[in-house]
Amino acid sequence: PGGAKLHMQSLGALAHFDFNQANAYAYEQALLTIRQLRLPMAAVEEQFRRMVFNIVARNQDDHVKNIAFLMNQQGEWSLAPAFDVTYSYNPSGSWTATHQMTLNGKRDGFTREDFAACSKAGLMKRGRAAAIHEEVQAAVKRWPEFAAEARLADDWRDMIRKTHRLSLPKP
């Protein structure tokens, strides 16, 4: 704001997490860090929304350096704007075959209950997880529109669409 510099730290740096250790860290830990920084519930819900997007839209390069926090001149922390948000799924890739961060102990095979369990860890109000999940799903369902606007080739559009997690099983 106003050209002033802001201090930025990744979740990995703040919590001393090694981003090279896939499967070692969880989205629940990200929400806990937000709570420990005493950020408002809006920040918890925003990070939850980003997590849902990563899982539904297949941004599987979701490691602890891709969540960050900003400190203003008064020493107050806030959740940084989202960055490195892109489709990142390769079933034979060493880093992108599954998610780098876990949700309810899983890197794949998610259910709606996994999201509900995570929302409890973030102390979110009842019903917020389901509402956020529905909002994100509605946005991701519009993928063909966004792909057309970006003039993405039809074969890429269709390949990506087929990998979206638009219907998660109930436990």
Mean pLDDT calculated for residue range 144-150: 98
Mean pLDDT calculated for residue range 125-148: 97
DSSP 50-71: HHHHHHHHTB----TTSSEEEE
> Does the structure show a pLDDT above 80 at 24?
yes
- Percentage of residues in the chain having pLDDT higher than 70: 98
* Coil, strand or helix at 26: strand
Contact by Cβ (8 Å): 16, 33: no
pLDDT at 170: 66
Domain residue extents for the chain: 7-163
Query: Rg (Cα) of the chain, in Å, rounded?
Result: 16
> Does the structure show a pLDDT above 80 at 114?
yes
> Does the structure show a pLDDT above 90 at 1?
no
Q: What is the mean pLDDT of the chain?
A: 94
> Does the structure show a pLDDT above 80 at 169?
no
Q: Bigger pLDDT: 93 or 146?
A: 146
CA distance 47 to 2: 25
